[in-house]
């Protein structure tokens, strides 16, 4: 049985994601991405004509992976997560917030180059909130949890997280307990 052989597009996206983790998305160069992916710059430009298009594809990949992880977590009956979508969203967000995040410089640079850069993120989050609303009986709990999670993400993104670890853990434990009670 043969394994999946990644396309040049997949190689480029993987290389760009690795480099973004190492040097930050604002410091990505197309030359460095092409070199790391093992493709020519022309091959990179064929797939992604501009750095903005490459960044958009990275965002789309991130959103897809988050959606896939959320579906898997919601379906995983053996985890500590209660069997509901809100709890799965909170737990996945907690895991994501615990990971190192690149600085906001890359996001801000991409926004300066393309003001519509965050439209797919905005659309994704609206769609996610709508789906969670359809699956969560207590809309107040959902909205509060969603806002807390998005606040934590924003504080982390902009390196303004002033909470101590025990304070963040207390808030997240409260959200999970409330979600479990739904």
Structure tokens at 177: 């307990």
Tell me what pLDDT residue 182 has.
Answer: 65
Q: Which of 6-20, 48-62, 66-80, 116-130 has the lowest mean pLDDT?
A: 66-80
The CATH number given to whatever domain includes residue 115 is: 1.10.357
Q: Do residues 84 and 151 both lie within one domain? A: yes
Angle at 111 between CA 110 and CA 112, to 5 degrees: 90
**pTM above threshold 0.75:** yes
Is the predicted pLDDT of residue 82 greater than 70, yes or no?
Answer: no
Q: What is the pLDDT of residues 95-118, one digit of tens each?
A: 887 776 666 666 776 677 777 878
The CATH number given to whatever domain includes residue 27 is: 1.10.10.60
Quick check: 121 and 59 in contact, CB under 8 A?
A: yes
3-state secondary structure of 43: helix
Tell me what pLDDT residue 81 has.
Answer: 43
Any idea what DSSP says for residue 6?
P
Domain count for the chain: 2
- Mean pLDDT of all residues in 116-131: 90
Looking at per-residue pLDDT, the higher value among 118 and 46 belongs to 46
Q: Do residues 69 and 18 both lie within one domain? A: no
Tell me the angle at which helices 51-75 and 119-135 cross, rounded to the nearest 10 degrees.
Answer: 10
Tell me what pLDDT residue 25 has.
Answer: 72
Q: How far is CA 61 from the centre of its chain?
A: 9
Is the predicted pLDDT of residue 90 greater than 70, yes or no?
Answer: yes
Q: Do residues 14 and 90 both lie within one domain? A: no
């Amino acid at each position: 049985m043969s394994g999946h052989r990644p396309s040049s597009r997949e190689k480029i996206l993987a290389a760009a994601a690795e480099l973004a983790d190492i040097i930050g998305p604002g410091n990505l160069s197309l030359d460095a991405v092409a070199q790391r992916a093992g493709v020519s710059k022309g091959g990179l430009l064929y797939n992604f004509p501009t750095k903005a298009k490459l960044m958009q594809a990275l965002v789309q990949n991130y959103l897809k992976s988050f959606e896939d992880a959320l579906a898997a977590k919601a379906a995983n009956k053996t985890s500590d997560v209660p069997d509901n979508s809100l709890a799965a969203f909170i737990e996945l967000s907690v895991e994501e917030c615990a990971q190192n995040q690149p600085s906001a410089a890359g996001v801000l640079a991409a926004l300066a180059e393309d003001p519509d850069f965050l439209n797919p993120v905005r659309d994704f989050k609206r769609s996610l909130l709508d789906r969670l609303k359809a699956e969560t009986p207590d809309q107040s709990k959902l909205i509060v949890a969603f806002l807390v999670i998005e606040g934590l993400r924003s504080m982390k993104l902009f390196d303004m997280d002033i909470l101590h670890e025990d304070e963040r853990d207390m808030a997240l434990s409260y959200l999970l307990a409330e979600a479990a009670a739904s």
